[in-house]
Amino acid sequence: MAEDRDFNSASFYRFLTEKKLMASRCKKCHALYLPPHPICTRCHASEMEWVEMKGSGKLAAFTSIAVGPSSTIEEGYDRNNPYVVGIVKLDEGPKISGRIHGLDAKKPAGIKVGIPLEAEFPEQTEGRSPYVTFKTT
């Protein structure tokens, strides 16, 4: 059961493999933590509960990457085929970073902060931590 999982990154990753974006919420002051924290840094309570994020949000900041790590080079990204990584402010409040699909990475000047995005859960690659990406809606 979800409620039994520890409030840490390992649980967060496990939820991602189940295509769920989960945050921890303080039962006392309702602060949300993503990635999840076991203790509330706002009120210091240690009573947390899991909450599933809808996965929708808005682009808060971004960068276009032309020279990425080897995993992205293997996927075909390079100087001529850059990709966008951004910070997404979820509708529920927390921010999360991830690759953003559906934007023209070659023309970053045309990308507007605030555009609506939706979470995607890519198939897992062996030897890589599960991750979340976003796409334009």
In the set 10, 19, 45, 95, which binds Zn ion (CB under 5 A)?
A: 45
Question: Which DSSP state fits 78?
Answer: B
In the set 21, 26, 88, 90, which binds Zn ion (CB under 5 A)?
A: 26
Tokens 């039994």 identify what position? 4
62 Cβ contact list (under 8 Å, min separation 6): 84, 85, 86, 87, 100, 103, 108, 111, 113
Using the contact rule CB under 5 A, the part of the chain among 23-31, 64-72, 109-117, 127-135 near Zn ion is 23-31
Does residue number 42 form part of the binding site for Zn ion (CB under 5 A)? yes
Does residue number 95 form part of the binding site for Zn ion (CB under 5 A)? no
Nearest residue to 90 via CA among 48, 133, 54, 52: 54
In the set 8, 17, 19, 43, which binds Zn ion (CB under 5 A)?
A: 43
Instruction: List residues binding Zn ion (CB under 5 A).
Output: 26, 28-29, 31, 40, 42-43, 45
